[in-house]
Copies of this chain bind each other. A is one copy, B any other.
Amino acid sequence: MNKEKRIYSGASPSEVEADLYELVNFQEQGLPMEILTRLIQERLVPHLVRYDRPEFQSLYNFMPEKGALLGAAVALRHNQGVTNWQVSPGGVMLEELCTRAMCGLFGLPANSDATFMYCGTYANQQAVYLALHRHAEQMGFDLSSRGIRGFPHPDRLRVVVSEEAHFSLRHAVRMLGLGEECMIRIPVDEDYGMDVTEIPRQLKKGGQARDIFCVVSTAGTTSTGTIEPIQALAELCKREEAWLHVDGAYGLAFSLLPELSRRFTGLESADSLTWDPHKQFGVPIPSSLLFVRRAADLKRMAIYGEYFNRKDDPEPNPGLKSPPSTRPLSALPLVTTVRYQGLAKLRERLRAPLTAIRKLSEQLEAEADIEVCHTPQTGILCLRMKPPHVPATELDSLQRFIYDHIKQEGRRSISMTRLADRTVLRLVALSPSVTFEALKETISDIRALAGRFSSRPV
C-alpha cells in the first residue's frame, strides 16, 4: 500500500517498540541535537497519528489551529505557572480576563466565573465535589473537614446521570469516596440522550429514602453527540435542592450556533459546566474549563498557604480555584485562536462538520444495507452495517470485523462502540477537514469490507 495514504505507520506494538527503544536508552553522555532530531523524525513521527487528515474520523483529536499554535508557542517558551500573581502577573491576569470573556461568550450570568482545568475528567470531579460540599453546608457541616461521614445517611447520597454519561463521572464518584452505587442511571431515548420521562420511575425504584445532591446533563454524549435536556433537569434540581452540572466537554461549544441554541434551553440555570476548548476550538491538549454560575462557589476549593496563595494577597490567585498548584498558561492559545479566527469563522468551523454528518445521515437513511442508529444532533454518527448475506446473530461480529480491518489498514480511523447492547460503528467529524465526501469514502470502504465478511472465519 502507498505509505503516503496511511494516517500512521500501521506498525505492530513490537515494531514500534523496536523503533523507539533508542530514544529511551539513557546514557551518561548526551546526544547532539541533529542526531536527536533525526531519531525523533525517523523513529517516532511515523508512528504518530495524522489528525489533520480528512480520513481521521474516530476520536476528538486534531492538529492545533494556526492562531492557537501562536499562543501555545509563546506559552511553551515562557513556561509560565499561572497560580498566583508572583509567579506570572501577565499569565494570571490573562486567565482572569479570558475566563470572564468566556462566561460572556456562553451567555452565563454576570456573577459567574470559571477556572482552567487540565481535562474534562478533573472538571467533572470538581463539579461533583462542589455539589457535595454545598449539600454538606445545607446540612450544617464542613465537608472539607469532616468528609462524607458528616452526612447523617451517607448511604442515601445520590447522583443522577444518564446511561450515556461519560465514564469520567464514574471516576468522579469513585475518587470522591462515594462509590458507583451512588449513581442513578436514567435510561436513554431513541437518540441516546437521557429520557427525562423515565426519571420519576427510576427515582421510585428501590423504595428507600434517597438524597439526590447532584444531577448531570451531558451536553454532547460521547457515543452519539446527543445534547441531553437541561431545562427539565433544572426543574428536578429545584425540587430536590440538588446541584445541576452540565457536562458539555464536547457539546457546549455548539451552544454558540444560533440554530442549535434551543437545545441548550436552561443552560443559564446550571450550577456548573464543563467545557473542553481542546475539542473543537483548535487549542492543544490539555485545556478544559469549569464554569460556575456563582463565582463564590469556587471559594470552596481554596486552601491558603504560607509560601504562596496567602489569604491576604491583594492580587488574583487562580490557583485557589482548583487543587493543582502547577497550572500552565492555557488561556493564551484559547485567546489567540479566538482572536485570530474571529467568532464568525469559529462558528463556521463549528458548523461545517455538523452539516457533513447530517447530510451523510440523511443519505444513509435510504440505503438498505445500513442502519442509521440515531438522528445526529452534532458531529457524530453511529451506524450498523446489515448486508443481506449476514444473519442477524452475526451482525456484532461484522462491525468488529470492519473496525479491526480499518485499524490494521491504517488508511483511515473510525471508532466502534455499543448502543443498546449492540456493536455499532461510529464516525466523528470534529474538524472542518472531515467533509461529506471524506465520510462517503469511509462508507464505501466499510461497505466493501462488509462484502468480504463471511460468518465463518476464513
| A174 & B144 in contact (Cβ 8 Å cutoff) | yes
Residues 78-113 (chain A) with a chain B CB within 8 angstroms: 78-81, 85-91, 93-94, 97-98, 100-101, 105
Q: Out of B94, B174, B326, name the residue touching A285 (CB < 8 Å).
A: B326
With A64-B76, A118-B324, A168-B323 already in contact, the answer to whether A16 and B285 are too (CB < 8 A) is: no
A343 touches B90 (CB 8 A): no
Residue A275, interface by CB 8 Å? no
A123 nearest CB across to chain B (Å): 10
The CA-CA distance from A170 to B335 in the complex, in Å, is 33
B26, B87, B167, B286: which contacts A49 (Cβ < 8 A)? B87
Stretch at the interface among A7-15, A203-211, A226-234: A7-15
27 cross-chain CB contacts under 8 A? A17-B97, A23-B339, A24-B98, A26-B343, A28-B342, A28-B343, A29-B344, A31-B342, A39-B339, A40-B74, A40-B336, A45-B78, A58-B87, A60-B81, A61-B80, A72-B76, A81-B285, A86-B407, A86-B413, A121-B323, A122-B323, A122-B324, A148-B179, A171-B323, A306-B416, A306-B417, A307-B415
Which of these binds chain B: A149-157, A191-199, A352-360, A365-373?
A149-157
A417 to B417, CA, bound (A): 52
Judge whether A386 is part of the interface by a CB distance below 8 angstroms: no
Closest chain-B Cβ to A275's Cβ sits at a distance in Å of 13
Q: A143-B179, A179-B145, A332-B44 are in contact. Are A70 and B36 (CB under 8 A)?
A: yes
Is A363 part of the contact surface with B, judged by Cβ < 8 Å? no
Residues of B within 8 A of A284 (CB): 76, 79, 328
CB < 8 Å neighbour of A155 from B87, B119, B149: B149
Q: Are A176 and B175 in contact (CB under 8 A)?
A: yes
Shortest A42–chain B CB gap in Å is: 12
Tell me, yes or no, whether A305 is within 8 Å of chain B by CB.
Answer: yes
- Are A307 and B426 interface neighbours, CB within 8 A? yes
CB–CB A328/B148 < 8 A = no
Interface residue A20 (Cβ < 8 Å from any Cβ of B): yes
Roughly how many angstroms separate A11 CA and B147 CA in the complex, as a whole number?
Answer: 42
Partner of A148, one of B47, B149, B314: B149
A91-B48, A118-B118, A286-B118 known; A149+B154 contact, CB < 8 A:
yes
Let me know if A436 is at the binding interface, CB within 8 A: no
1/0 contact trace for A255-298 toward B, CB 8 Å?
A: 00000000000000000000010100000111010000000000
CB distance from A334 to the nearest CB of B (A): 10
The yes or no answer to A340 lying at the interface (CB within 8 A) is: yes
